[in-house]
Every structure is written in C-alpha cells, then in structure tokens.
C-alpha cells in the first residue's frame, strides 16, 4: 500500500528510463550511473535519483545501478510485468494506427479487439484484430478481462463511448478525441490531445520561447 503521492512527471520519466534501460540491456551494458541515465534521456542526474528514491534503493553507492536489475524494478513499479489486454474504440485511421503501433506490443499492451459502428468495418479484421460492433463491448471486456480502453472516435462521440466503457467496468481510459470527457473518479483517464501539442509549438514559435534544456 503505497502511501506517498508520486508526481505524474516522475511516472512518465520512469517510463522513459525503462525504455532507455531496455536499450542498454540489449547492448549488453551491465551497470550505469544516474548521470549517464540523465544524459541519455535528457534530464538531471539528481532528478533520476529522486525519481527512483520514491520506490526504494536500487543502486550501489560508488558504483551505480545494475541495468537489468533496475529495469526489472521499474517494470514492476509501472505494472508492466504482466500483459495488459486493451480495447480500442473506433476503427478509423487513428484507431487502426494505434492497433498497428509496435510501441504498444513491445511494452506489454495487447490489443484484443476494436469496436466501431460502421457496418462495413464490423467483423472485418485489421492485422489480426477483429472489429466488433459496439454491442459486443461488454462481453469482450468481461471475457478478456480488459482493464483499459482507448478512445479513437470523433470528439462528439467521445463522452458517450467513455460512459459505455465506464458502465462496463473499465479501469482506465486513454482518450485521443479532442474533447473534454468526464468519468467517475475511480476511473483513470488520460487525454492525448494531438492538436494541443501542435499548438504549444505554435505558441512557442510565435512567442519566441527559448528551450531550456
């Protein structure tokens, strides 16, 4: 029972550290220092140590961290030691792209089904993933013990899809629709708003914001 509140930024950095460590491990590197991790992922060394310190002591003073060992610890922290079945709602371009995105598979996410309302898409397969009608959502979530849903539908339907996912006891939603959606507080929600990201860039360009790395 973790009692401390972990900054979300810390969690997202852990995810990045993890990917970096995975790369190092494949290269056969055995130990690494916080400074080298920091250098590799573009943050400060103190930040790296601080992030890890929330969860325990994984390094050896004077030596550094064992790559494999630290990697395993972080995967455990992130809950990535088991595979996560995921459903994607919306079999349009974005939904399809997400299904084919290797990054998900590599990190242990397993897209078990897609859903759409378009009769032309229903019951077809996209790279081995079947597109189901929305009616099947509840059954499949239950059958495959799905905890996470990805919303990739137009903004105007995002809320109703979210409601449907919630009704079917999903634990977490990753929303790609450019819409503000509301869910009960026990449901985890994250928004990936593609336009917002471009707009931060335009803001920075027109306001001549300096990057501070």
Query: Per rule CB under 8 A, is residue 130 in the interface with its own copies?
Result: no
For its own copies, the binding residue among 48, 91, 98, 162 (CB under 8 A) is 98
- Residue 8, sorted as left (phi over 0), alpha (psi -120 to 50) or beta, turns out to be alpha
108: CB partners within 8 A, 6+ apart: 80, 82, 83, 84
| Neighbour-count burial of 3, counting CB atoms closer than 10 A to its CB (0-12 exposed, 13-18 middle, 19+ buried) | exposed
For DNA, the binding residue among 14, 21, 24, 52 (CB under 7 A) is 52
Q: Over the Cα atoms of the chain, what is R_g?
A: 20
Region 32-51 residues binding DNA, contact defined as CB under 7 A: 32-35, 43-47, 49-50
The answer to whether 172 touches 191, Cβ cutoff 8 Å, is no
Residue 206 binds: one of DNA, its own copies, none (C-beta under 5 to 8 A by kind): its own copies
For its own copies, the binding residue among 61, 93, 124, 160 (CB under 8 A) is 93
Least distance from C-beta 188 to its own copies, angstroms?
Answer: 5
Region 139-168 residues binding its own copies, contact defined as CB under 8 A: 147-148, 154-155
Query: Per rule CB under 7 A, is residue 95 in the interface with DNA?
Result: no
For its own copies, the binding residue among 100, 118, 123, 169 (CB under 8 A) is 100
**Total binding residues toward its own copies, as defined by CB under 8 A:** 73
CB nearer to its own copies: give 106 or 135: 106
| Neighbour-count burial of 19, counting CB atoms closer than 10 A to its CB (0-12 exposed, 13-18 middle, 19+ buried) | middle
Q: For residues 170 and 76, give the distance between their C-alpha atoms in angstroms, rounded to a whole number.
A: 22
CA-nearest of 67, 66, 50 to 7 is 50
Query: Per rule CB under 7 A, is residue 68 in the interface with DNA?
Result: no
- Region from 30-38, 122-130, 167-175, 200-208 binding DNA, contact rule CB under 7 A: 30-38
CB nearer to DNA: give 33 or 168: 33
For its own copies, the binding residue among 26, 27, 61, 202 (CB under 8 A) is 202
Least distance from C-beta 73 to its own copies, angstroms?
Answer: 13
Query: Per rule CB under 8 A, is residue 80 in the interface with its own copies?
Result: yes
Query: Per rule CB under 7 A, is residue 30 in the interface with DNA?
Result: no
């Amino acid at each position: 029972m973790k009692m401390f509140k972990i900054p979300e930024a810390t969690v997202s950095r852990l995810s990045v550290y993890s990917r970096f460590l995975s790369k190092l491990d494949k290269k056969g590197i055995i130990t690494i220092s916080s400074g080298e991790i920091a250098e590799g992922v573009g943050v400060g060394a103190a930040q790296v140590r601080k992030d890890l310190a929330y969860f325990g002591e994984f390094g050896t003073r004077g030596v550094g961290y064992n790559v494999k060992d630290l990697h395993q610890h972080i995967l455990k922290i992130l809950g990535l030691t088991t595979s996560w079945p995921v459903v994607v709602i919306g079999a349009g371009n974005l939904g399809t792209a997400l299904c084919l995105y290797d990054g998900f598979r590599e990190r242990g996410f397993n897209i078990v089904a897609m859903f759409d309302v378009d009769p032309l898409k229903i019951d077809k397969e996209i790279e081995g993933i079947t597109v189901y009608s929305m009616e099947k959502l509840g059954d499949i979530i239950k059958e495959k013990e799905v905890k996470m849903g990805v919303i990739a539908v137009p903004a105007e339907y995002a809320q109703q899809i979210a409601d449907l996912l919630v009704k079917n006891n999903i634990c977490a939603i990753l929303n790609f629709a450019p819409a503000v959606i509301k869910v009960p507080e026990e449901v985890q929600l994250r928004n990936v708003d593609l336009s917002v990201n471009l707009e931060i860039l335009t803001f920075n360009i027109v306001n001549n914001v300096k990057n501070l790395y």
